[in-house]
Structure 1
Amino acid sequence: MVDVLTEIEIKLPVNVVSDYAMNPDHAPEWYVNIHSAEWKTPRPMTIGSQIAFKAKFLGRELAYIYEIMEYEPGKKLVMKTAQGPFPMETTYTFESLDENLTRMTLRNTGNPTGFSKVFSPFMSTMMRKANMKDLKKIKSILEG
């Protein structure tokens, strides 16, 4: 079982941070390992929307489709793999600490299977490092 929670504070209003972070088109800009995001269902985002991502993790190319399970603009986004190398759920939450400061949290939970199961003992550590890189990158992009 993998359960990784990371967070960062970004010096911008919650709506600015969440609008950017919840838009799958921006994922390749701030996720170090994601190379592309392609909508499989029509926009705009809603519960049931599906987005195909291509990424590289542990030296392997991964292709997976996330389905939107929960979507509360400005507050929360929950995505779950509909297809992919292992079942994973990703949750973004956004909390306004004041009018120009937002806490963004990123949580990944899942059960590695197959090839990934071999790396299970290290998966949480590697994901935590990758997630912190991603959060630092989104912070630098947004804060300029």
Structure 2
Amino acid sequence: MDVDVSNEIVIDRPVEAVARYAMEPDNAPAWYKNIESIVWRTPRPLAVGTQLDFVAWFLGRRLAYTYEIIELVENERMVMRTAQGPFPMETTYAFKPVSPDKTRMRLRNRGRPQGFAGVLAPVMAGAINAANRKDLEAIKTIMESGA
């Protein structure tokens, strides 16, 4: 069973500010509750092909994985993918201006759990959905407080 979870929120900040903050990997631990750390595996700046090592906690387990940026469109979209582990994942950030001072941010995670993880796909989808909603609320709070 595939997992495909998409959530969105409107943030009272211009699209350029929201996209710049969200697409900066070093900011992820501030707004992603489950992300513990990020290490750049390839040199800066962020570009297609950049690789980032993430350490996160999910469903009570510590996970270490490498994301590779596969698409990057300034102020519009970033897509990153990991292929290793029991749950290959693709994460998409998408940004659309609602007005000059408001941005709709969409966070999408999709993948196909392998092996035993496939049995847990419905549980994983629910946990990802809940986490994404909290993460989007966190970035909204950070952005609207002046980040």
Both proteins in one fold, TM over 0.5: yes
Q: Which residue of 2 aligns with 1:3?
A: 4
1:17 maps to a residue whose letter is V
Which consecutive unaligned segments of at least 5 residues does structure 2 have? none
SS at match of 2:42: coil
Q: Which residue of 2 aligns with 1:67?
A: 68
- CA distance in 2 between partners of 1:49 and 1:85 (Å): 22
Q: Contact 1:65–1:84 (CA<8 Å) still a contact in 2?
A: no
Q: Which residue of 2 aligns with 1:111?
A: 112
- Over the matched positions of the two proteins, sequence identity in percent amounts to 54
- CA distance in 2 between partners of 1:116 and 1:32 (Å): 22
Deviations 1:70-91 (A, max 9, x none): 0011000000004344210001
Question: What pairs with 1:62-141 in structure 2 (closer than 5 Å)?
Answer: 62-141=63-142
Taking structure 2 as the reference length, the TM-score comes to 0.94
1:29 maps to a residue whose letter is A
- CA distance in 2 between partners of 1:43 and 1:128 (Å): 31
SS at match of 1:83: coil
- CA distance in 1 between partners of 2:35 and 2:118 (Å): 21
1:61 maps to a residue whose letter is R
Summarize the Cα distance change of 1:27–1:85 in structure 2 as closer, same or farther, 3 Å threshold. Answer: farther
Question: How many residues are treated as equivalent by the alignment?
Answer: 144
1:131 maps to a residue whose letter is N
**Matching of residue 45 in structure 1 with residue 46 in structure 2:** yes
- CA distance in 2 between partners of 1:52 and 1:138 (Å): 21
| Ranges of 4+ aligned residues in structure 1 off by more than 2 Å | 82-85, 114-118
Q: Contact 1:37–1:54 (CA<8 Å) still a contact in 2?
A: yes
**Matching of residue 12 in structure 1 with residue 13 in structure 2:** yes
